[in-house]
Amino acid sequence: MIIKQSIYKGIGLLVALLLGHPPNVSAQKVVRYDLYVKDTMVNYTGKEKRAIAVNGQIPMPTLTFTEGDTAEIWVHNQLNESTSLHWHGLFLPNKEDGVPNLTQMPIAPGTTHVYRFPIIQQGTHWYHSHSGLQEQIGMYGNFVMNKKADALNIRKGIDDLPTLPVVLSEWTDLKPENVHRMLHNANDWSALKKNAVQSYAEAAKAGHLNTKFKNEWKRMLAMDVSDVYYNKIFMNGQSESSFSAHQGKVLKAGDKVRLRISNGGASSYFWLRYAGGKMTVVATDGNDIAPVEVDRLIIAVSETYDIVLTIPEEGMAYELLATTEDRTNSASLYIGAGRKQLIAPLPRLKYFEGMKMMNGMMKMNGNLDDMGMKMSLNKMDMNVVMYPEITGAAPKKGDKKKMDMASGAHSMDDQYNSNALSDIVTLNYAMMKATEPTTLPEAPTRTLQFELTGNMNRYVWSMNNKVISETDKILVKKGENLRLVIYNNSMMRHPMHLHGHDFRVVNGQGAYAPLKNVIDIMPMETDTLEFNANVEGDWFFHCHILYHMMSGMGRIFTYENQAANPLIPNPKLAKRMLYADDRMPHFMIENDFASNGNDGMMMIQNTRWSVGTEWRLGYHAMHGYETETHIGRYIGKMQWLMPFIGFDWRYRKMGHGEVEKNLFGQKNTKDNRAQLSLGVEYTLPMLIRFQTEVYQDGNLRLQLMREDIPIAKRLRMSFMVNTDMEYMGGFKYILNRNFALSAHYDSDMGFGAGFTLGY
């Protein structure tokens, strides 16, 4: 067997050429790609922004292999930071899996790393950086493995169709680090951009004032189906593109095409809909399923679906529309050649209906109550209450609801079953059936229970209320069968992804349960997954929403007595670096420059700890200067409770003989006061923060406060009152991400107006 490699260096791909034709059929073909990872500037919105391009392109080039090949991928890191590449959904030796600090050390700037592994499966997959937030700014691409031409599982009418790999993604002009920071500080800029603030004024206008009130009573922030505002949505790097010809032949009426679609978005789910009729789903996560006809499907972050589309009429192109779950943005791909038949955009979500639904499900203690509905597999979608195309348009003011007579006739189950409520067929996991039996080998089975947990207000996402750095790896015996039972007790949906293995989704199809490596679990759903532990190594199991993963929502499976990974020379150091991801502190600062003084705060927080300083600085000694610093630890899943130690300092010039008394008659005469304190903060219903603090001199202070009450879309109200007879009330009008106009009245400093700068 002679394999000669001729290598073309340059922008394009470097592919190993097979010259000699070996007589031996089992001969392995090595397919080599060279990937040059480099910083680049892009301009998608009229502003130059930093992104990362590979071989000069975003998305990264499509890598194509045939089952039986050996992949050899040379990654040349030309960035100023380290990188890595993860081959999503692939079966491979653990050291090729591409998770920095877990399966290899990060690829240092200026170095080259070679991934080499046999291709032992087929199907639509993708690849992406697993380092930091690089996936958000360009490091995602298609990874396609074709069946061998003589394979037994070739499906006529599917595997022989004209095929286009499509990777979905989003773009934000904000730096992803900043997006991450803002999420952790419950910044509502994204909601403002999406027109989804859901303020009291908007609630009143929609006739949902009571709903909003109840929502805050249950200590929830405005609900949304996604957290990040994106400027652009892409299919293969473009908002609008066409698939009009294949291999030089123009597509015509009656032709079928197959799209291999991966969701490379960092945090967006996408609805896929086709203007040319039904879509036939033929595979998911690289595994064939029996064809299913649907009107639409939602593709979770990091899932893949293969769909077959038909071109109904000559001289026409039909829109395939990918709309973000929050419906604020979309990308179009036109299938066919000619005039473009559009599909109607999805109507805006009925947010207050969603809020009402959430209120009903949320118990006072922050747990969710499924009212005995036993939800799973996306069959029931609570969000249908927000979908006008399923549950009708939002009633206009004055419209009496005409539904009352019908209620009661319906079972609870059907209330959220999208497919029973309308004639729009939406794909769910129960509709998927493998093309061949997927039963696991006979082996001892162990069941692991997981609860997906989280806290929207502080953007802490975890499993069993622990983040990655707070847990040990989960030990697995090679050869055993693992059954994962996962319950989502958080308010967001989570696409859970397992590295290195496919799992069976137990969905009522018996031996034909479909195989996947990502499953989307909606709030209150319980799903059961099974897999055979058959490859040693450290395998990540995590939520694939990038910002959830970076917050620590995951676990690591590791095999008992496995060989050491040669790519991790110092496992202790690697572990520390891996844990640093979710331990990362998030910083915020805000100062109000007002006519009566400066008011501000600064906060550094991570999963459990918070260090915060507030200050009030007058312009003269009579108004005084004071600061309070609290170092606290959040307790419990919802993190409503925070004991803290504090340090207060203040200086205020008081008149002769002037004595300050608090509500309890305790006196305070000092102009210059420095005090240590112990205290506890608790978040009350209505999101009011209640602080109790005891100072070293025995003084006691109780305080109630709330900032950022959403009065109107851009108007926020705040207030504070305490037993030192101090009080404050103010308004803020948000101009942009960092800038707001403000006015407030303060018992120490009087009335003041100015502007607030925040980061």
Partner 1 sequence: MKSISKILMIVISLLSYTACTAQIKNSTTTTVAISGNCDMCKATIEKAGNDKNMAKVDWNKDTKKASITYDAKKTTLDVVLKKIALAGYDNEQFVAPDEVYAQLPGCCQYERAKKTAVVEKHSQSHDKGAAHDHSQHDGTTAPAETNELKPVFDRYFMLKDALVKSDGATAATKAKEFISTINAVQMEKLATKEHTVWMSVMKKLSGAATLIAETKNIAKQRNAFSNLSKDMYTLIAAAPQTAPVYYQHCPMYDDGKGAHWLSKEDAVKNPYYGATMLTCGKTVETISK
Interface with partner 1 by CB under 8 A: which residues?
240, 253, 275, 312-313, 316, 339-345, 390-392, 402-403, 406-407, 409-410, 414, 420-423
For every residue of 4-43, which 3-state class applies, written as one string?
Answer: CCCCCCCCCCCCCCCCCCCCCCCCCCEEEEEEEEEEEEEC
Alpha carbon distance 109, 81 (integer Å): 5
Shortest distance (Å) from residue 314 CB to partner 1: 9
Shortest distance (Å) from residue 293 CB to partner 1: 13
Name the token pair of 553.
Answer: 């929502």
Residue with smaller CB distance to partner 1, 340 or 689: 340
Shortest distance (Å) from residue 254 CB to partner 1: 10
Residue with smaller CB distance to partner 1, 403 or 674: 403
- Name residue 664's amino acid: F
Alpha carbon distance 116, 567 (integer Å): 13
Shortest distance (Å) from residue 640 CB to partner 1: 38
Shortest distance (Å) from residue 229 CB to partner 1: 21
Exposed / middle / buried, residue 690 (Cβ in 10 Å: 0-12, 13-18, 19+): middle
Residue with smaller CB distance to partner 1, 255 or 626: 255
- Among 550, 546, 43, smallest CA distance to 264 is for 546
Name the token pair of 102.
Answer: 């877990």
Alpha carbon distance 560, 558 (integer Å): 7
Shortest distance (Å) from residue 505 CB to partner 1: 25
Shortest distance (Å) from residue 39 CB to partner 1: 26
Residue with smaller CB distance to partner 1, 93 or 395: 395
Is residue 37 within 8 Å of 76, Cβ to Cβ? yes
685-692: which pairs have CB atoms within 8 A and are 24 or more residues apart?
685/216, 685/217, 685/218, 685/219, 685/364, 686/216, 686/217, 686/219, 687/216, 687/219, 687/221, 687/457, 691/722
Side-chain-side CA neighbours of 704 within 13 Å: the count stands at 8
Exposed / middle / buried, residue 724 (Cβ in 10 Å: 0-12, 13-18, 19+): buried
Shortest distance (Å) from residue 292 CB to partner 1: 16
Residue with smaller CB distance to partner 1, 424 or 631: 424
Residue with smaller CB distance to partner 1, 402 or 572: 402
Shortest distance (Å) from residue 438 CB to partner 1: 29
Gyration radius (Cα) of the chain, Å: 28
Is residue 615 within 8 Å of 626, Cβ to Cβ? yes
Residue with smaller CB distance to partner 1, 47 or 402: 402
Alpha carbon distance 32, 117 (integer Å): 11
Residue with smaller CB distance to partner 1, 25 or 344: 344
Residue with smaller CB distance to partner 1, 421 or 709: 421
Shortest distance (Å) from residue 390 CB to partner 1: 7
Residue with smaller CB distance to partner 1, 410 or 477: 410
Alpha carbon distance 361, 376 (integer Å): 16
The β-bridge partners of 123 are: 145
Shortest distance (Å) from residue 155 CB to partner 1: 26
Shortest distance (Å) from residue 317 CB to partner 1: 9
Shortest distance (Å) from residue 392 CB to partner 1: 6
Name the token pair of 318.
Answer: 């039909």
The β-bridge partners of 615 are: 600, 627
Alpha carbon distance 197, 673 (integer Å): 41
Alpha carbon distance 403, 46 (integer Å): 48
Residue with smaller CB distance to partner 1, 345 or 510: 345
Dihedral angle computed from the Cα positions of residues 494, 498, 502 and 506, in that order, rounded to the nearest 10 degrees: -40
> What is the three-class DSSP state of 718?
strand
The sign of the CA dihedral 731, 197, 451, 611 is: negative
Residue with smaller CB distance to partner 1, 20 or 392: 392
Shortest distance (Å) from residue 103 CB to partner 1: 45
Instruction: Give the β-pairing of 240-243 and 232-235.
Output: unpaired
The β-bridge partners of 603 are: 588, 612
Residue with smaller CB distance to partner 1, 392 or 571: 392
Is residue 544 within 8 Å of 495, Cβ to Cβ? yes
Residue with smaller CB distance to partner 1, 389 or 626: 389
Name the token pair of 513.
Answer: 């349960």
